[in-house]
C-alpha cells in the first residue's frame, strides 16, 4: 500500500469515512457512481481517482458527513483548482510575478 504522503487527499478522506463507520462502502460507491470493486482500486492505489469522482466525494462529505464537511470543502477547492488548471483557466509563469517576496 502506498505511503500516507503519496496517497491523494481524496483517498485519505475516503479511508477516513470508511474507518469511521459513518457510511458503508457500497453507499459511498453509489455516491461516486462507481462499482465497489473500482472503489477498492482507488483505495489500493492501483487506480488513481479521477477529478470528477473526487468532486463527487467532496460533495458527499459536505452534504452527508458533517464531521468531515470542512475537509470536503478543502477537497472541493483543490479539485476545482486542478480542473481550472487542466482547462488552462489558470496561468503559470516562468518567473515570479513582480513584487513577489522571498
Say what the pLDDT of residue 93 is. 63
Set of cell numbers at residue 52: 470528477
**Could you read off the pLDDT of 46-70 as tens digits, one per residue?**
999 999 999 999 999 999 999 999 9
> Could you state, in order of their start, the residue ranges of all structural domains in the chain?
9-86
Q: Which segments of the chain have a pLDDT < 50?
A: 1-3, 5
Say what the pLDDT of residue 86 is. 86
Q: Which fold has domain 9-86?
A: 434 Repressor (Amino-terminal Domain) (1.10.260)
Q: What predicted TM-score, i.e. pTM, was given to this entire model? A: 0.80
Say what the pLDDT of residue 70 is. 97
In terms of Cβ atoms closer than 10 Å to its own Cβ (0-12, 13-18, 19+), residue 19 is exposed
Amino acid at each position: 500500500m502506498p505511503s500516507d504522503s503519496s496517497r491523494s487527499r481524496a483517498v485519505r478522506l475516503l479511508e477516513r469515512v470508511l474507518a469511521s463507520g459513518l457510511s458503508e462502502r457500497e453507499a459511498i460507491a453509489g455516491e461516486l457512481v462507481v462499482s465497489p470493486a473500482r472503489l477498492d482500486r482507488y483505495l489500493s492505489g492501483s487506480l488513481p481517482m479521477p477529478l470528477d469522482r473526487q468532486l463527487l466525494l467532496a460533495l458527499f462529505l459536505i452534504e452527508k458527513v458533517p464531521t468531515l464537511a470542512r475537509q470536503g470543502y478543502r477537497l472541493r477547492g483543490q479539485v476545482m483548482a486542478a480542473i481550472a488548471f487542466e482547462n488552462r483557466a489558470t496561468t503559470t509563469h516562468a518567473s515570479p510575478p513582480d513584487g513577489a517576496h522571498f
